[in-house]
């Protein structure tokens, strides 16, 4: 896997493999998620892969009642909204993804700071596979 470029194509391939991968600069140690081909701290291009655990806290969210076309194809509409959010990962970087296991129709019940864990939602197979990142509240996690 170390042969892959540190870019969005590799990032999505890793999502297909259910791995959350960022890049760490070998020069200065800066962690980037998703990965970057060049370090914006020291401008080295000497990178190594860093796997993130996928544990974090919800930092912001929205429940979407008017979906874009590709989400409507999944069956989401005004009566079936879905939630997206920004998550602060324990490694100190943020991620965006869907928030599952919450009541999208009652977004007032969703709380900022809720502990969440990463999940992977797959569509299609083989070369056609694409994977979306999701986060689910941790059972029994303190909110």
Partner 1 sequence: MGEKRKLGRGVCIVGAGMSRFDMYKDKDSKQLFAEAFKECIDSVDKGIDPKEIQAMWLGNFTNDFFIHQGHWGPIISDLLGLPPKPATRTEGACASSTLAVKDAAYAIASGMYDIVLAGGVEEMSKISTEAVSEGLALAGSPYEVYEGFTFPAVFGAIATAYFAKYGATWEDLNYVTVKSHENAKLNPKAQFNMTIKDIMNLRIEKYKKKGQPVPEWKDEYEALRDPRFNPVVAWPMRLFDCCPISDGAACVLLVAEEIAHMFTDHPIYIIGMGQGSGRALHDCPSLTSLEANKHAAKEAYEMAGLTPKDIQFAEVHDCFSIAELIHIEDLGFCKEGTAYRFVREGGTRLNGPMPINTSGGLKCKGHPVGATGAAQMVEVWHQLRGEAGPRQIPNGDLHIGASQNLGGTGGTCTFMIFSNEK
Residues found near partner 1 in the complex (CB under 8 A): 8, 34, 59-72, 78, 81-82, 84-86, 93-98, 107, 112-113, 132-133
Structure tokens at 93: 């970087």
- Based on CB atoms, which residue is closest to partner 1, 3 or 78? 78
Q: How far is the CB of 95 from partner 1 (least distance, A)?
A: 6
Q: Which residues pair with 88 in a beta bridge?
A: 57, 94
- Smaller CB distance to partner 1: residue 2 or 83? 83
Smallest distance from partner 1 to CB 66, Å: 5
Which runs of E-coded beta strand occur in the chain? 20-25, 31-32, 47-52, 55-64, 82-89, 94-99, 115-123, 130-137
Angle at alpha carbon of residue 57, lines to 53 and 59, rounded to 5°: 130
Q: Which is nearer to partner 1, 28 or 96 (CB)?
A: 96
Smallest distance from the beta carbon of 106 to partner 1, in angstroms?
A: 10
- Strands 31-32, 20-25: pairing is antiparallel
Nearer to partner 1, 24 or 98 (CB): 98
Sheet of 20-25: strand order equals 31-32, 20-25, 47-52
Q: How far is the CB of 109 from partner 1 (least distance, A)?
A: 11
């Amino acid at each position: 896997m170390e042969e892959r470029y540190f870019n969005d194509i590799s990032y999505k391939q890793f999502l297909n493999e259910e791995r959350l991968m960022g890049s760490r600069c070998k020069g200065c140690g800066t962690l980037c998620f998703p990965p970057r081909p060049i370090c914006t701290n020291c401008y080295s291009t000497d990178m190594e892969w860093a796997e993130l655990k996928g544990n974090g806290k919800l930092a912001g969210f929205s429940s979407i009642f008017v979906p874009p076309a590709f989400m409507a194809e999944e069956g989401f509409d005004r009566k079936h909204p879905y939630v997206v959010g920004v998550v602060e990962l324990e490694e100190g970087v943020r991620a965006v993804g869907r928030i599952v296991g919450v009541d999208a129709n009652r977004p007032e019940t969703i709380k900022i700071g809720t502990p969440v864990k990463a999940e992977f939602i797959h569509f299609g197979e083989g070369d056609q596979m694409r994977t979306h990142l999701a986060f689910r509240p941790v059972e029994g996690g303190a909110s």
